[in-house]
């Protein structure tokens, strides 16, 4: 499979000697929906900054669609659409102008940009606010405006740095659907997010950065299989008995009706339910105490 | 590339047109006051300067001062604000070459200098009859002056970190240099030492050629009056382009 993004020993040390990236080798396939995760300060935004040409790397290389970034800067910039983490538009400019100007910087004629802006503003449910200044938008609306702006020049690769931070649940769901649709249409999407369920739900492949180092790069499903231990929260209709035993699992009664089960390696959820039924416990509700990816993420990033 | 250039220029023009109460009206009011006080009230007592009425004598200086201040103000405020709210990243992530960005901002500064200069000239036409001696000298001087001060404003904005930093140069450097550049007087009336010192003030040369274009009177040869801003433009353009290419105070090192 051809690569949309490839970095080789990418390193960034800031002038204050902070090592933001330590020789990372990142591979993203064309058409992928890729999650780049890491805690605050892990180096995600630095990596994105270098890929988009906002930052200079200290050493290493970046290739976009097989083109070396150092020798094809402008060609590469045309391929990438960036939605940054921080709001970075002129807050006093009308929303529609922000989009049209951005397209203009990428060489899109104004007549085409107007059509594209209308399409995207409608998609992002911002059409009614097109002549308002950006400052007047809510946080979630500003995020959607930035997503629309990143798409104005129809990029092949879309980089989203915390796209749904501060966006309400309903809009987040519609953004997810739209991103999935874009991905289906062939746009490679690289996503960083703190909402791990978002990454789990959207992305096929994943990389995890920790203190500037790449600690994991894998297929999402394969990675989730590594989540051997799961903590289950089980609710019972009846009052729980005092001694509950489930083979290979540790059980802890949280209250009269709630049980916490630390699932053993060789024990499936069905085994747990069967064992509880055998002890006359009717399971009314069952959930995982922690998102699987979250558990893995925490274990990988210490 | 030219689409990007046009986009920056239109954005700049729309920006200063949107805030016309801040950008166009104050210079018009200031000009009217200058003409009333220095021209109308005091001018008749001063009499003539270089063979023309004092009111007529100060008109080119007033217009050029407006062009200088407005061209400078446009690039320094616009580029500083783009840095301040990070909207400059919109350009950094795009394939727009740095020299196009620079040209776009400079053209924005020149556009504002032209629009406000025109508004001021229109205001002046209510006080004195305007009949330029040479429109080509006037326009050439306007463009050289406006480009030079737009570039200077751009460089100021690159280094500026606070709002104070963008007002220091206009207030403490540009305004005194403009006043001392022969705006209200002919340097021929100065003692030789001060006359010699004035020759180090680039604004003096622009003021002189602008007055030549307006009234047909000048103190220095025209080629010299054009050469000084031309060389300054070359120098400032090289510095500005270098700063942009290095990403000074735009990219985190």
**pLDDT tops 90 at residue A210:** no
Out of B3, B14, B89, closest to residue A104 by CB? B3
The structure tokens listed for A44 are 């995600």
Q: In chain B, what is the straight-line distance between the N-terminal and C-terminal CA atoms, in Å?
A: 27
Asked if B33 contacts B131 with a C-beta cutoff of 8 angstroms, the reply is: no
Please list the residues that pair with A248 across neighbouring strands. none
Asked if A91 contacts B85 with a C-beta cutoff of 8 angstroms, the reply is: yes
Please list the residues that pair with B48 across neighbouring strands. B53
**pLDDT tops 90 at residue A174:** no
From A122-126, A150-154, A206-210, B179-183, the region with the lowest mean pLDDT: B179-183
Q: Which residues of B216-248 are buried (b: 16+ CB within 10 A; e: fewer)?
A: ebbbeebeebbebbeebbeebbeebbebbeebe
Collect all residues of chain B within an 8 Å Cβ-Cβ radius of residue A161: none
Phi, psi dihedrals of residue B47, rounded to the nearest 5°: 90, -125
Out of A82, A93, A105, closest to residue B7 by CB? A105
Question: CA–CA separation, B186 vs B60, rounded Å?
Answer: 12
Say whether B253 and A15 touch across the interface (CB within 8 A): yes
Q: How confident is the model at residue A227 (pLDDT cuts 50, 70, 90)?
A: low
Nearest to B105 by CA among B243, B253, B252, B251: B243
**Residue % of chain A over a pLDDT of 90:** 42
Across chain B, what does the average pLDDT equal? 89
pLDDT in tens, A62-99: 999 999 988 898 899 999 999 998 888 999 999 999 99
Taking the CA of residue B7 and the nearest CA in chain A, the distance in Å comes to 6
Collect all residues of chain B within an 8 Å Cβ-Cβ radius of residue A101: 7, 11, 90
Collect all residues of chain A within an 8 Å Cβ-Cβ radius of residue B94: 77, 102, 105-106
A74 touching B, CB under 8 A? yes
The whole-number average pLDDT for the span B86-104 is 92
Q: In the prediction, which pLDDT does A80 show?
A: 94
Taking the CA of residue A54 and the nearest CA in chain B, the distance in Å comes to 6
Q: In the prediction, which pLDDT does B110 show?
A: 97
Helices within A40-164 (DSSP H only):
44-51, 73-79, 95-105, 110-123, 139-151
Q: In the prediction, which pLDDT does A38 show?
A: 84
Following DSSP, what letter does each residue of A11-61 receive, concatenated? Answer: EEE-TT--EEEEEE--EEETT-EEEEEE-TTSSHHHHHHHHTTSS--SEEE
Asked if A34 contacts A204 with a C-beta cutoff of 8 angstroms, the reply is: yes
The whole-number average pLDDT for the span B57-74 is 93
Q: How confident is the model at residue A291 (pLDDT cuts 50, 70, 90)?
A: low
Burial class (CB in 10 A: 0-12, 13-18, 19+), A111: exposed
Q: Is A214 helix (H, G, I), strand (E, B) or coil?
A: strand
A72 touching B, CB under 8 A? no
Mutation pick from B87, B244, B249 vs chain A, by most beta carbons of A within 10 Å, is B87
pLDDT in tens, A38-63: 888 888 889 999 998 888 899 999 99
Asked if A126 contacts A50 with a C-beta cutoff of 8 angstroms, the reply is: no
Question: CA–CA separation, A178 vs B90, rounded Å?
Answer: 23
Collect all residues of chain B within an 8 Å Cβ-Cβ radius of residue A52: 93
Collect all residues of chain A within an 8 Å Cβ-Cβ radius of residue B87: 88-90, 93
Question: CA–CA separation, B233 vs A23, rounded Å?
Answer: 43
Say whether A109 and B1 touch across the interface (CB within 8 A): no
Q: In the prediction, which pLDDT does B191 show?
A: 83
Out of B3, B86, B95, closest to residue A77 by CB? B95
ipTM of the complex: 0.85
**pLDDT tops 60 at residue B253:** no
The structure tokens listed for B59 are 């008109």
CB pairs under 8 A between A and B: 78
The whole-number average pLDDT for the span B162-183 is 86
Q: Which residue has the higher pLDDT, A232 or A129?
A: A129
Out of A56, A90, A104, closest to residue B4 by CB? A104
A14 touching B, CB under 8 A? yes
Out of A88, A104, A106, closest to residue B87 by CB? A88
Taking the CA of residue B130 and the nearest CA in chain A, the distance in Å comes to 38
Taking the CA of residue B150 and the nearest CA in chain A, the distance in Å comes to 21
Say whether A82 and B93 touch across the interface (CB within 8 A): yes
Say whether A86 and B86 touch across the interface (CB within 8 A): yes
Out of A88, A97, A106, closest to residue B89 by CB? A88
A54 touching B, CB under 8 A? yes
The whole-number average pLDDT for the span B202-223 is 91
Say whether A104 and B7 touch across the interface (CB within 8 A): yes
Q: Which residue has the higher pLDDT, B95 or A229?
A: B95
Residue A157: other Cβ atoms inside 10 A: 23
B81 touching A, CB under 8 A? yes
Asked if B130 contacts B117 with a C-beta cutoff of 8 angstroms, the reply is: no
């Amino acid at each position: 499979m051809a690569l949309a993004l490839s970095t080789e020993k990418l390193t960034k040390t800031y002038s204050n000697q902070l090592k933001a990236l330590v020789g990372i080798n990142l591979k993203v396939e064309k058409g992928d929906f890729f999650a780049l995760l890491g805690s605050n300060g892990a180096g995600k935004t630095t990596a994105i900054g270098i890929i988009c040409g906002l930052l200079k790397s200290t050493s290493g290389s970046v290739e976009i669609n097989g083109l070396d970034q150092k020798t094809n800067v402008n060609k590469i910039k045309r391929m990438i659409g960036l939605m940054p983490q921080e709001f970075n538009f002129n807050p006093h400019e009308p929303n529609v102008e922000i989009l049209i100007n951005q397209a203009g910087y990428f060489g899109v004629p104004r007549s085409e940009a107007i059509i594209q802006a209308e399409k995207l503003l409608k998609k992002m449910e911002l059409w009614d606010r097109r002549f308002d200044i950006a400052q007047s938008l809510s946080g979630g609306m500003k995020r959607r405006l930035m997503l629309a702006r990143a798409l104005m020049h129809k990029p092949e690769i879309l980089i989203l740095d915390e796209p749904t931070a501060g966006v309400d649940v309903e809009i987040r769901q519609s953004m997810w659907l739209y991103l999935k649709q874009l991905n289906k249409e062939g746009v490679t999407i690289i996503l960083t997010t703190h909402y791990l369920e978002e990454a789990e739900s959207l992305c096929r492949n994943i990389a995890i950065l920790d203190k500037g180092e790449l600690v994991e790069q894998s297929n999402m499903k394969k990675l989730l299989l590594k989540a051997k231990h799961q903590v289950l929260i089980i609710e019972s209709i009846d009052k729980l008995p005092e001694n509950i035993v489930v083979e290979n699992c540790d059980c802890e009664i949280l209250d009269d009706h709630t049980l916490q089960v630390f699932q053993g390696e060789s024990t499936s959820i069905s085994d747990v339910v069967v064992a509880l039924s055998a002890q006359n416990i009717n399971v009314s509700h069952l959930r995982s105490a922690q998102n699987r990816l979250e558990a893995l993420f925490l274990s990988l990033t210490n | 590339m030219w689409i990007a250039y046009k986009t920056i220029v239109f954005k700049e023009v729309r920006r200063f047109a949107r805030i016309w109460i801040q950008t166009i009206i104050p210079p018009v009011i200031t000009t009217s006051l200058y003409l009333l006080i220095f021209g109308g009230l005091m001018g008749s007592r001063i009499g003539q300067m270089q063979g023309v009425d004092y009111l007529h004598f100060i008109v080119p200086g007033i217009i050029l001062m407006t062009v200088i201040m407005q061209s400078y103000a446009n690039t320094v405020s616009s580029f500083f604000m783009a840095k301040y709210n990070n909207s400059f990243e919109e350009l950094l992530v795009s394939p727009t070459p740095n020299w196009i960005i620079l040209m776009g901002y400079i053209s924005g500064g020149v556009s504002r200098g032209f629009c406000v200069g025109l508004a001021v000239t229109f205001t002046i036409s209510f006080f004195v009859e305007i009949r330029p001696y040479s429109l080509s000298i006037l326009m050439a001087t306007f463009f050289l002056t406006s480009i030079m001060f737009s570039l200077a404003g751009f460089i100021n904005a690159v280094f500026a970190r606070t709002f104070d930093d963008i007002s220091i140069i206009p207030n403490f450097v540009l305004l005194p240099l403009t006043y001392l550049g022969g705006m209200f007087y002919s340097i021929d009336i100065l003692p030789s030492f001060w006359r010699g010192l004035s020759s180090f003030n680039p604004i003096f040369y622009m003021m002189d050629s602008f007055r030549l274009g307006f009234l047909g009177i000048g103190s220095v040869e025209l080629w010299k009056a054009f050469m000084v801003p031309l060389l300054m433009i070359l120098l400032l353009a090289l510095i500005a382009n270098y700063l942009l290419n290095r990403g000074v105070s735009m990219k985190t090192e």
